[in-house]
Amino acid sequence: MKAAVLESLENIVVKEVPTPEVGPDEALVKVHACAVCGSDVRIYHHGNNRVIPPAILGHESSGEIIKVGAGVTSFQVGDRVALGSDVPCGECDFCKAGHGNNCVINYAMGYQFPGSFAEYVLLNRTVLNFGPVHLIPEHMSYDEGALAEPLACVLNATELAGIKLGDTVVVMGAGPIGCMIIPVALMSGAAKVIVINRSPGRLAFAKQVGADVTICSSEEDQVARVLEETGGLGADVVFTANPTPSAHADALLMAKNRGRVNLFGGLPAGSKVELETNLIHYKELIVSGAHGSVPRHHRLAIELISSGKLDIQSFISHRFSLDEVNEAFRIAESKEGLRVIVKP
């Protein structure tokens, strides 16, 4: 089969590799769509301790099951499926408790398991038994199915932040994932969603998908503006959805007393941030993190998309063939668009 192989850092080569053999407890998917995630771009430049080249990246995908092993009963040939990223091992304390994104091994598609920037992707026994593999209905496109993965991560974060009816929600960062928080926050009951971004270009898209207020942080003082928009009290919920360390400090300043802060966007490895922790203490803030998702979030993401409650189509800006995967990575990194999809 043809696959985009990360041979070494900053070197992806599209080439012929052996098509995976399908064991009795495994299945093979013909990939129809795989989106480029910010983490794929990070791995391309800096590597990851769970990715050992030569490796096939790609963890936001969908396709059709074309082969199943004799022992597989949960899926059949012809099933249209969306595939998520984090794969619970099914055996550690965290996985058994339903927190597979905190698994001690933290298996993921496109990491330890070969990903979907390829014609075919193998669903091994662990993936089939415990992983985020879910049917998508006929009327839902494969492109939409691929974006169930990033949406699942958003659902994990919004769940942890506990948005309530009437809340004012701040999203720091208007990248595709930050912008996915907007419709979910509105659906969860937010009365006002404020989105902050350094470059003004992406704020127009934030508005398009439901932001009530946008703040361009390179032109305005973001903390002062949030306080102004909230009667001086601050926001009920603040999400950081950018890789900027100072956003974490500012999030505490923007949050209302008893507010919730979710540190959703990861920072460059080893980052240290100086925080005024007395803000957490005196304001009784609840600060949480969010990393990846578990299969139930992925299933819910598919339901929100397939029911038409959430228009994920508008988050797709570019489509490329597998041969053009390097160009797809370049566009994804350039922030010229939103989600970039590779169609093997």
Binding site for Zn ion (CB under 5 A): 37, 89, 92, 95, 103
Contact 181/241 with Cβ under 8 angstroms? yes
CB of 342 to Zn ion, least distance (A): 13
CB of 80 to Zn ion, least distance (A): 21
Smaller CB separation from Zn ion, 68 or 181: 181
Smaller CB separation from Zn ion, 95 or 213: 95
Neighbours of 121 (CB within 10 A): 29
Smaller CB separation from Zn ion, 163 or 294: 294
Rounded Cα gap, residues 120 and 246, in angstroms:
41
Rounded Cα gap, residues 42 and 166, in angstroms:
37
Smaller CB separation from Zn ion, 12 or 287: 12
**Cis before 18 (ω within 30):** no
Smaller CB separation from Zn ion, 171 or 180: 180
Residue 331 is which amino acid? Answer: I
Q: How far is CA 217 from each of CA 35, 78, 203, 224, 335, rounded to the nearest angstrom?
A: 28, 48, 11, 10, 17
Smaller CB separation from Zn ion, 104 or 204: 104
CB of 293 to Zn ion, least distance (A): 10
CB of 195 to Zn ion, least distance (A): 20
Smaller CB separation from Zn ion, 38 or 162: 38
Q: What is the CA radius of gyration of the chain?
A: 20
Rounded Cα gap, residues 43 and 45, in angstroms:
5
Full DSSP string of 281-325: HHHT-EEEE--S--HHHHHHHHHHHHTTSS--GGGEEEEEEGGGH
CB of 23 to Zn ion, least distance (A): 21
CB of 277 to Zn ion, least distance (A): 30
Structure tokens at 257: 């007393």
CB of 320 to Zn ion, least distance (A): 17
